[in-house]
């Protein structure tokens, strides 16, 4: 465990920082590939333009852009949680703007990782009016393997 908190003012200043990554498109190809990846089945038909599509499609956007780089504060890192959320279903043919946000950076003492730093980032997908339609969030923990107990994330 470090002698003092690793959450310096510089690190804390990252929280809330937004970065516009660019536009993503809900295309038939993206939806088809995402359905195939998660169900193992090639869909025989797809929703028409303007119709709701399965939320899997959000995964097709995640490789389009790199999020903001985060400081490496501890020797090891691991995904401990992730989530998708939707204010409404995604629609075939729509274009959304992806915005990357550092939602929180917190430190934890004890637990299975010993002293660790959790960083939650979120990519928000906004419509043309700036309303958030969907979010994809990741929580990573940074820790020292030497101080961690058995177990771990995904």
Partner 1 sequence: MKANPLTLAEGDELPVLHLEPGLGQVIRYCALQWAFPAFFYDIEAAKAQGMPGTLVPGPYKVGLLYRAVDEWLGEAGWIRQVRAAHRRPDLTGRPIDIAGRVARVYEEGGTKRADLELAVINERGEPSVRGFAVVEFNG
Q: Which residues bind partner 1 (CB under 8 A)?
A: 33-34, 36-40, 52, 54-56, 59-60, 62-63, 78-87, 89, 138, 151-154
Give the residue with the Cβ less far from partner 1, 38 or 95: 38
User: Quick check: 136 and 62 in contact, CB under 8 A?
Assistant: yes
Provide the sign of the torsion angle of the four alpha carbons 99, 26, 66, 62, taken in this order.
Answer: positive
What is the closest distance, in whole angstroms, from the C-beta atom of residue 7 to partner 1 in the complex? 22
What is the closest distance, in whole angstroms, from the C-beta atom of residue 120 to partner 1 in the complex? 12
Give the residue with the Cβ less far from partner 1, 60 or 105: 60
Give the residue with the Cβ less far from partner 1, 20 or 37: 37
Exposure string for 129-148, b = 16+ CB within 10 A, e = fewer: eeeebbbbbbbbbbbeeebb
What is the closest distance, in whole angstroms, from the C-beta atom of residue 4 to partner 1 in the complex? 29
What is the closest distance, in whole angstroms, from the C-beta atom of residue 15 to partner 1 in the complex? 21
What is the closest distance, in whole angstroms, from the C-beta atom of residue 28 to partner 1 in the complex? 15
How far apart CA 1 and CA 123 sit, in angstroms, is 31
User: Residue 20 in 3-state DSSP?
Assistant: strand
User: Counting Cβ atoms within 10 Å, is residue 24 exposed (0-12), middle (13-18) or buried (19+)?
Assistant: buried
Give the residue with the Cβ less far from partner 1, 12 or 23: 23
Give the residue with the Cβ less far from partner 1, 20 or 79: 79
CA angle (4, 108, 101) in 5-degree steps: 100
């Amino acid at each position: 465990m470090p002698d003092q908190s690793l959450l310096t003012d510089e690190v804390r200043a990252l929280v809330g920082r937004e970065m516009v990554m660019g536009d993503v498109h809900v295309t038939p190809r993206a939806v088809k590939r995402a359905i195939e990846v998660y169900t193992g089945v090639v869909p025989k038909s797809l929703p028409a333009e303007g119709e709701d599509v399965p939320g899997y499609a959000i995964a097709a956007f995640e490789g389009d852009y790199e999020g903001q780089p985060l400081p490496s504060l501890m020797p090891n890192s691991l995904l401990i949680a992730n989530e998708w959320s939707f204010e409404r279903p995604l629609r075939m043919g729509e274009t959304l703007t992806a915005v990357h946000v550092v939602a929180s950076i917190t430190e934890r003492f004890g637990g299975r990782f010993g002293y660790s730093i959790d960083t939650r980032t979120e990519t928000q997908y906004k419509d043309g009016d700036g309303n958030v339609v969907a979010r994809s969030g990741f929580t990573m923990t940074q820790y020292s393997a030497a101080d961690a107990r058995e177990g771990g994330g995904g």
